Amino acid sequence: MRLQNKVAIVTGASSGIGRAIGDMFLAEGAKVVMFDMNPHPDADRLGENAFCVTGNASDSEAIKNLIDTAVEKFGHLDILVNDAGTAALEEIIGTSDEVWDNVMGVNLNGYFYGVRAAGLYMREKKIAGSIINISSILGTVGFRGVGIYCVTKGGINQLTRATALELAPNGIRVNAIAPGFIVTNMTKGITDDPRAKAGLEASTPLGRMGEPNDIAYAAVYLASDESSYVTGSIMYVDGGWTAQ
């Protein structure tokens, strides 16, 4: 098992990409604390190596407490996956302060709180851990109608690079995964529209949308010792979208 004896936190773990990552980490031998605003649908069936916590990723104190909970429950922390996210389907120039603050709070502030709390813990305890931020191809390319989301994902990429340099002397690795269009609740508007789905697939070199497990496989690699020489990287898992 590739993550045997490792302890991980996964945010946004009750559905979609976060849920797939949490499940795959468990299958690879990790102990996993799964964090989300919504209860995990399988919380009672995940087994003794999983522990589910509900909370808001945009709350700094909730993230500090999450690190403490993982350490109290499983003894230490080796891996953090920041995945909790939200989006607003509107143009930037028509966006209210409230919508802007909400998306920034979850997508960017929440990632900062997680990176800071996990980085401080790992540095203090001399743990050569792995921090993984789930970004998006929309942090690199623009896309109409989800501008705020694009801004936050671009910020996540830079948060990843800058923190990787800060923590490299401590042996702590910080990387990001940039998914393309993945079949999740966030892309339901596309998958429910046959014309939109067909158009998106035609624009993707591999000819299909991705599945959550496509991202989970990449997360296992970055969480494992196999990627011990990888830090500050943005790994694109996008069916070739950004190669065009």
What tokens were used for 76?
């230490």
> Would you call 104 helix, strand, or coil by DSSP?
helix
| 149 flagged as catalytic | yes
The per-residue pLDDT for range 11-56, each reduced to its tens digit, is 999 999 999 999 999 999 999 999 999 999 999 899 999 999 999 9
Q: What confidence score (pLDDT) does residue 243 get?
A: 95
Backbone angles phi, psi at 177, to 5 degrees: -110, 130
Per-residue pLDDT tens for 104-124? 999 999 999 999 999 999 999
Kindly indicate the confidence band of residue 87, based on its pLDDT and cuts at 50, 70 and 90: confident
Domain ranges of the chain: 7-237
Mean pLDDT of all residues belonging to the chain: 95
pTM metric for this prediction: 0.96
Catalytic, out of 111, 113, 121, 149: 149
Structure tokens given for 104:
């920034």
The whole-number pLDDT of residue 145 equals 82
Burial class (CB in 10 A: 0-12, 13-18, 19+), 244: exposed
Instruction: For 7-237, give the CATH class.
Output: alpha beta
On whether the CB atoms of residues 90 and 99 are closer than 8 A, the answer is yes
Name the packing angle between helices 97-104 and 147-167 (round to 10°). Answer: 30
What digits encode the pLDDT tens for the residues 155-186? 999 999 999 999 999 999 999 999 999 998 88
